[in-house]
Amino acid sequence: MDQIGRSVRREEDRRLTTGRGRYVSDIVEGNMVQLAFVRSSRAHARITGLDFTKAQSMPGVVGIFGPKDMGEAIKPLSFGPPPESAMEPTMPCPLADGVVRHVGEPVAVVVADNRYIAEAAADACEVEYETLPAVADVQEARKNQVLVYPERGTNVAAVVTRKTGDGEAALKRAAHIVQETFTIPRVVGHPMEPRAVVASFDPVTGRLTVEAATQGAHTVKMGLAAVLDLAPEKIRVVVPDVGGGFGVKNRIYSEDAVAAWLAIRLGRPVKWAGDRLEEFLATNQGRDQVHTASLGVDEEGRIVALADHFLQNVGAYTPEPLIVPAQTATCLPGPYRLPNFEATVEVVFTHTPACAPYRGAGQPEATFVMERLLDRAADAVGIGRDEIRRRNLVRPEDMPYENGIIGRDRQPVTFREGDFPGTLETVVEALRVGTSPDDGKLRGTGIIDFMEVSGGVLFEICRLELGRDGVVSLFTGTSSQGQGHRTSWAQIAADRLQVPMDQVRVVEADTDTVPMGLGTFASRSTITAGNAIVQAVAPFLDKCREEVAALWEASPEDVLWEDGFFRLAGVADRAMDLRTLAVSRPLDAPLVEASAQFMDANTSFGMGCHGVRVAVDPETFQISIEDYVICHDAGVRVNPLLAEGQVFGGTVQGLGTAWYEALRFDAQGQPLNTSFMDYLVPGSAEMPDFRLVKRDFPSSSNPEGLKGLGEGGTTAAGAAFASAVEDALRPFGVKITSLPVTPASIFAQVKGGVRP
Partner 1 sequence: MKPLPFRYMKPQTLDEALEALGSGEDAKVLAGGQSLVPLLNMHLARPALLIDVNALEGLSTIEPSDAGLRLGTLVRHQTLLTSSEVRRAVPLLAEAAALIGHEAIRARGTVGGSIAHADPAAELPMVAIAKRATIGIRSASGSRRVPAEEFFIGYLMTSLGPDEIVEDVLFPMAPSPSGSAVEEFSERHGDFALVAVAAELSLGEDGRVARAGVAVAGAGPAPAAAREVEAALIGQASPEGVRATAKAVAADIAPEDDLHASASYRKHLAEILAARALERAWQRAKAASEAR
The answer to whether residue 749 forms part of the interface with partner 1 (CB under 8 A) is no
d(CA 219, CA 516): 9
Pairing of strands 303-315, 33-39: unpaired
Strands (E), 323-471: 340-349, 401-406, 412-415, 442-454, 459-466
Q: Using CA of residue 299, residue 302, residue 305, residue 310, what is the dihedral sign?
A: positive
Which of 57, 583, 622, 733 binds partner 1 (CB under 8 A)? It is: 622
660 binds partner 1 (CB under 8 A): yes
**Which residues make beta-bridge pairs with 461?**
597
Q: How many CB atoms lie within 10 A of CB 399?
A: 16
Identify which of residues 116 and 436 has a Cβ nearer to partner 1 in the complex. Answer: 116
679 vs 661: CA distance, rounded Å? 6
Is the Cβ of residue 115 or residue 372 nearer to partner 1 in the bound state?
115
Taken as a whole, the chain contains a residue count of: 756
Residue 13 as a binder of partner 1 (CB under 8 A): the answer is no
Contact with partner 1 (CB under 8 A): which of 678, 703, 730, 731?
678
- With binding defined as CB under 8 A, does residue 619 bind partner 1? yes
Stretch that binds partner 1, among 46-54, 115-123, 289-297, 632-640 (CB under 8 A): 115-123
Q: Give the nearest distance from C-beta 111 to partner 1 in angstroms.
A: 15
Q: Which stretch binds partner 1 (CB under 8 A): 567-575, 640-648, 680-688, 696-704?
A: 680-688
Cβ-contact 410, 426 below 8 angstroms = no
- What minimum distance in Å lies between the beta carbon of 354 and partner 1? 22
Nearest Cα to Cα of residue 461 among 582, 608, 593, 322: 593
The C-alpha atoms of residue 238 and residue 513 are separated, in whole angstroms, by: 10
Q: Which of 673, 692, 693, 694 binds partner 1 (CB under 8 A)?
A: 673
Q: Please give the span between the terminal C-alpha atoms of the chain, in angstroms, as a whole number.
A: 61
Binding of residue 539 to partner 1 (CB under 8 A): no
Of residues 115 and 695, the one with the C-beta less far from partner 1: 115
Contact region for partner 1 (CB under 8 A) — 111-119, 221-229, 346-354, 694-702? 111-119
The least CB distance from residue 353 to partner 1, in Å, is 18
CB 419 within 8 A of CB 697: yes
Is residue 670 close enough to count as binding partner 1 by CB under 8 A? no
Note whether 115 binds partner 1 by CB under 8 A. yes
Nearest approach, Cβ of residue 458 and partner 1 (Å): 38
Interface of this chain with partner 1, residues 235 to 294, rule: CB under 8 A:
275-277
Nearest residue to 475 (alpha-carbon basis) of 521, 500, 525, 510? 510
Among positions 664, 691, 694, 735, the unique one binding partner 1 when judged by CB under 8 A: 664
Q: Which of 28, 204, 591, 685 binds partner 1 (CB under 8 A)?
A: 685
State the CB neighbour count (10 A cutoff) for residue 731.
13
Instruction: Confirm or reject binding of residue 751 to partner 1 (CB under 8 A).
Output: yes
Smallest CA-to-CA distance from 480 within 236, 193, 258 is with 193
Classify residue 541 by burial, with Cβ atoms within 10 Å: 0-12, 13-18, 19+: buried
Nearer to partner 1, 435 or 675 (CB): 675
- Minimum CB distance to partner 1 smaller for 591 or for 685: 685
Nearest alpha-carbon partner for 252 in 107, 75, 102, 112: 75
- Select 259 or 332, whichever has its Cβ closest to partner 1: 259
Report the distance separating Cα 546 and Cα 710, nearest Å.
Answer: 40
Q: How far is the CB of 115 from partner 1 (least distance, A)?
A: 6
**Number of residues near partner 1 (by CB under 8 A):** 29
27 or 680, CB closer to partner 1?
A: 680
Please name which of 662, 753, 150, 715 lies closest in space to residue 454, comparing C-alpha atoms.
Answer: 715
**In terms of CB distance, is 429 or 666 closer to partner 1?**
666
Q: Is 620 a residue that touches partner 1 (CB under 8 A)?
A: yes
Q: Which of 113, 384, 743, 749 binds partner 1 (CB under 8 A)?
A: 743
CB of 631 closer than 8 Å to CB of 427: yes
Q: With CB under 8 A as the contact rule, which of the stretches 218-226, 304-312, 592-600, 617-625 interacts with partner 1?
A: 617-625
Does 628 engage in binding with partner 1 (CB under 8 A)? no
State which residue, 583 or 672, has the beta carbon closest to partner 1.
Answer: 672
Closest alpha carbon to 68 in 49, 83, 53, 84: 49
How far apart, in whole angstroms, are the C-alpha atoms of residue 139 and residue 135? 10
Angle subtended at Cα 382 by Cα 328 and Cα 398, rounded to the nearest 5 degrees: 50
Residues forming the site for partner 1 (CB under 8 A): 115-116, 119-120, 123, 275-277, 619-620, 622, 660, 664, 672-673, 675, 677-678, 680, 682-683, 685-686, 742-744, 747-748, 751
